[in-house]
Amino acid sequence: MKQIKAAVVNGVNEDYKIETVYLDEPRSNEVLVKMVASGICHSDEAFRLGDADYGLPAIFGHEGAGIVEQVGDAVKSVKVGDHVVLSYAFCGHCNSCLHGKPATCDEWAVLNVSGRRKNGDPIFYKEDKKTPISTLLGQSSFATHTVVDENNVIKIDKSVDLTIAGPLGCGFLTGSGTVFNGFKPKVNSTMTVFGTGTVGLAGIMAAKIAGCSTIISIDIHDHRLETAKKLGATHTINSKNVDALEEVRKITNGLGTNYVMDTTGISSVMKTAFDATAQGGVYAPVAVSSNELTFVPFGELVVSTKSIIGVLMGDAVPQVSIPQMIDFYKQGRFDFTSVIKKFDFEDINEAANASNSGEVIKPIIIIDKTYKPQ
């Protein structure tokens, strides 16, 4: 076992604590990654704060980027020294995986949120080398090193700065994938996005790339709406000051938009989002929320021919979508770096608080300070 440092959550609502822990050796299908940086996602915080249950102690983090340090003998897609972004885990051989839908993998839950390998073995142990620590999304990127399945790693071009690339594995993947793979909008269609976090802004950039003619961004913070406008929103609405539904209808000649994405998960907002969906349109609530969708009279759904779709992780194949986002970024069409703020690994609690307060859209913790972008 390898001695490393990781930010451990030992109890619900406790701070991240940087501790010395032990990391198991990579097995034949696994890859040892030296982490350079990791984004903090709202799901990490939902588990830490107890909004959703998780087996503790745990090492969270699932927007990691780093350098391959060791590979198991069956690993084919990466070699030592490769630069990688980490995303979610999938089996690669069930029906869904073989149909290009790894986000609906039969083994998604056991591989991503059981906190252990598929056979139940832990990957991390506390300093006593006995007490297991849970992993998250098969990743646990809030650590100096991690061991992941080959399917978790996506090789990227070495010219891409690893201190910014991690969030491509979750937040930006979810937002852009909901548009590209969930909605698949026709050119000239219209879209509304509720919320301007990482997922919402990625959705706005993707809507622009996909050729949507009207892209409406709704939030309660003016400075965030300014960012949305820079990234592709054609209209912005501050729903603190005006009635959002009324404004959407004004912009769309009373019709609503063909596509609506809700990233807030707030019940009242989800109802407005459904009402803002045009006749025959598609509505995707993408926030991880325990609130129920109880607002739709069944008859109204039938008569309006609206669809409500569930989209997990943007229904994306990370190995395909992450290099594609990097291409869009290099072409100046996916400027995801404008929402990033970097923090030192030691300041992970400060970074998490800045995200929770809304002050920072996407905090990234820098784990390897010796890394220099090429």
In the complex with Zn ion, the residue whose CB is nearer, 103 or 133, is 103
User: Strand, coil or helix: what is 284?
Assistant: strand
Residue 45 beta carbon to Zn ion: minimum distance, rounded to whole angstroms: 10
In the complex with Zn ion, the residue whose CB is nearer, 41 or 351, is 41
Confirm if 57 and 47 have CB atoms less than 8 A apart. Answer: no
| Residue ranges binding Zn ion (CB under 5 A) | 41, 43, 90-91, 94, 97, 105, 170
Residue 136 beta carbon to Zn ion: minimum distance, rounded to whole angstroms: 9
Residue 167 beta carbon to Zn ion: minimum distance, rounded to whole angstroms: 8
Distance (Å, rounded) from C-alpha 62 to C-alpha 46? 13
Confirm if 283 and 307 have CB atoms less than 8 A apart. Answer: yes
Confirm if 80 and 71 have CB atoms less than 8 A apart. Answer: yes
CA distances from 354 to 20, 45, 314, 339, 347 (A): 25, 12, 25, 13, 11
Residue 347 beta carbon to Zn ion: minimum distance, rounded to whole angstroms: 20
Distance (Å, rounded) from C-alpha 364 to C-alpha 83? 17
In the complex with Zn ion, the residue whose CB is nearer, 37 or 41, is 41
Residue 300 beta carbon to Zn ion: minimum distance, rounded to whole angstroms: 32
Confirm if 326 and 168 have CB atoms less than 8 A apart. Answer: yes
As given in the structure block, the two tokens for residue 119 are: 């056979």
Residue 89 beta carbon to Zn ion: minimum distance, rounded to whole angstroms: 9
In the complex with Zn ion, the residue whose CB is nearer, 94 or 296, is 94
Distance (Å, rounded) from C-alpha 218 to C-alpha 237? 5
Point out which residues pair with 2 in neighbouring strands.
Answer: 23
As given in the structure block, the two tokens for residue 100 are: 């290009």
As given in the structure block, the two tokens for residue 363 are: 């905090």
In the complex with Zn ion, the residue whose CB is nearer, 43 or 277, is 43
In the complex with Zn ion, the residue whose CB is nearer, 74 or 80, is 74
